[in-house]
Amino acid sequence: MQHRAKVLDILRSSSRPVPVKILTEELGISRVALWKLVRKLLDIGYPIQSGKDGYLLPADQDPDLLCPWELGPYGQRIEWVLETSSTMEVAKNRFRPNAISQRGKTEAPSPTFLYTIAEMQTAGRGRFYRPWESGRGGIYLTVSLYRKVPLAIVGRYPLMAAAVLADTLYGLFPRLADPSSIHATDTNRISLKWPNDILVGKRKLGGILLDMEVEGDAVSGIHLGIGVNVRNRPKDPHAVSLIDLMGQSVPPRRQILLHYLKRLEQALEDPYLKAAIPRWKNYSDTLGKPVRIRYPGGSRAGLRTLSGTAVDLGPGGELLVRTSDGSIRPVSHGDCHHRS
């Protein structure tokens, strides 16, 4: 993994072919080992050109993959695939209760952060199993955490993941993300719509999905599915990607993801996420607005549509809605629609 990262760094730093002698000396490997390394990178999808002058990776053909060796200190904890049905499903199958290792011993899930990344999903999904368009060029990631937290506060996790994503985009694209910027308008301001949407104006840039493993009144496994439209072109007219907003000035996806993972791991150090709600509220596009809550399939369970004004978040991340009779109703699930 280290050699792959280093050879890519060297090739990207040069607009001319890099001689084989320089590469072998920098990497400390033989010419044959270098040839095998380049062949593996070619097989994965890096269009490295070879000739009498050495090896070249044309900048305009860089595939910008999110492989482990592209993501520095996080690489050892990444499961990466070119294509899968859903990173969430892959992640949930990585560790199972009482999993038996090859040595015949029971292995406990890792207490650290684990990442599952795909370049493309064929069955990406959002809440209530709605399809999430996942073409090449987006970021499709599941973050897995194995820690025990009260079930009552697990709703803070997707809120924190969304707030950190908004913070990251603010840092990378201040013209788009800063709500107080003189350039900010209704069409280019990044905001968060309860419970899981990342918006730019009225269009969806990304989303967060929560899945979990429950033991009684506690959660033992948390999976956060995170999707961001970067260089992909969603067909949905209500969606938008960073390349639509910023053009070719959008940095490589690996740089965006590195910024995000660094912030996210810091934010998730506290298992109770006491800062999640105030951080999410900094970007809220929901609070203070008239809303209508719909429950997919709710009619079969006797759930009716709820209308009112979104006034606050509860301690577990639930939306507090003031209805027409003045009562406050907590909403922990359902589709939130803004009413005009």
The neighbouring-strand residues paired with 117 are 80, 141
**pLDDT average, residue stretch 71-94:** 91
Inter-residue contact 256 to 168 (CB < 8 Å)? yes
- Say what the pLDDT of residue 112 is: 82
**pLDDT average, residue stretch 18-45:** 96
The model's pTM is 0.89
Quickly count: other Cβ atoms within 10 Å of residue 245's Cβ: 20
Fold for 68-281, please state it.
BirA Bifunctional Protein; domain 2 (3.30.930)
Q: In this model, does residue 155 exceed pLDDT 50?
A: yes
**pLDDT average, residue stretch 124-143:** 76
- Say what the pLDDT of residue 335 is: 83
pLDDT band at 103 (very low <50, low <70, confident <90, very high): very low
Inter-residue contact 144 to 117 (CB < 8 Å)? no
Selecting from 3.90.950.20, 2.30.30.100, 3.90.1150.10, 1.10.540.10, what CATH number does the domain 290-338 have? Answer: 2.30.30.100
Q: In this model, does residue 178 exceed pLDDT 60?
A: no
- Say what the pLDDT of residue 93 is: 84
Q: In this model, does residue 181 exceed pLDDT 70?
A: no
Q: In this model, does residue 183 exceed pLDDT 50?
A: no
Fold for 2-61, please state it.
Arc Repressor Mutant, subunit A (1.10.10)
Name which residue leads in pLDDT, 101 or 216.
216
The neighbouring-strand residues paired with 218 are 150, 215
**pLDDT average, residue stretch 310-315:** 96
| Gap between the Cα atoms of 227 and 240, Å rounded | 12
Name which residue leads in pLDDT, 220 or 106.
220
- Say what the pLDDT of residue 232 is: 93
pLDDT band at 127 (very low <50, low <70, confident <90, very high): low
pLDDT band at 50 (very low <50, low <70, confident <90, very high): very high
Domain assignments of the chain as residue spans, ordered by start: 2-61, 68-281, 290-338
- Say what the pLDDT of residue 206 is: 95
Distance set, CA 142 to CA 23, 68, 116, 147, 176 (Å): 35, 14, 5, 16, 25
Q: In this model, does residue 301 exceed pLDDT 80?
A: no
- Say what the pLDDT of residue 101 is: 42
Name which residue leads in pLDDT, 182 or 74.
74
Give percent of the chain with pLDDT exceeding 70: 86
**pLDDT average, residue stretch 74-98:** 84
Q: In this model, does residue 303 exceed pLDDT 70?
A: no
Amino acid identity at 75: G
- Say what the pLDDT of residue 340 is: 63
Q: In this model, does residue 261 exceed pLDDT 60?
A: yes
The neighbouring-strand residues paired with 290 are 309
